[in-house]
Amino acid sequence: MSAHQSAEAFDILLVEDNPGDARLAQEALKEGRMSSRLKVVVDGVEAMSFLRREGGFASAPRPQLVLLDLNLPRKDGREVLAEMKSDPDLCRIPVVVLTTSQAETDVLRCYDLHANCYITKPVDLDRFIAVVRAIEEYWCSVVTLPPN
């Protein structure tokens, strides 16, 4: 783990409209070995406001990782990904697409938009928790990220 990452909690933004999946992710991270803080927004419009620290998100922490669902209300995950990766202030934040879609067109489109990885949500509860913990461990302790 780099000195930057070990000195403070790791901020993660989860963009997820399914309350059950959001709760499971929160539980998995709470019980994980890393020190991470998870913020949850429920649609793409809120995600972009959070990332740009607009409105009620003016004091929001800058996340070091975004977990992004694709099928969101108001602005879908593909649009959020495209906006993030075309914004010089946001483009270096890693984005893990975590979605139910297994469609090849979604996988290709997300990588074309520079997603850092694409993970299909497991339907099995234990497997879902294991995947979220693996994401946290990889991005919090294995990878060297650019400074915030």
Per-residue pLDDT tens digits for 96-138: 999 999 999 999 999 999 999 999 998 888 898 889 889 988 9
Please give the backbone phi and psi of residue 137, each rounded to the nearest 5 degrees, phi first: -60, -45
Using CA atoms, how far apart are residues 111 and 109, in angstroms rounded to an integer? 6
- Amino acid at the residue 101: S
Alpha helix stretches (DSSP H) within 53-137: 77-86, 104-112, 125-137
pLDDT band at 5 (very low <50, low <70, confident <90, very high): very low
Q: Domain spanning 3-140: which CATH class is it, in words?
A: alpha beta
pLDDT of the residue at 37: 86
pLDDT of the residue at 34: 64
Could you tell me whether strands 36-41 and 65-68 are parallel, antiparallel, or unpaired per DSSP bridges? unpaired
**What tokens does 61 get?**
């922490």
Is residue 7 scored above 70 in pLDDT?
Answer: no
pLDDT of the residue at 27: 84
In the sheet that holds 36-41, the strands lie side by side as 36-41, 10-15, 65-68, 95-99, 117-120
Is residue 71 scored above 80 in pLDDT?
Answer: yes
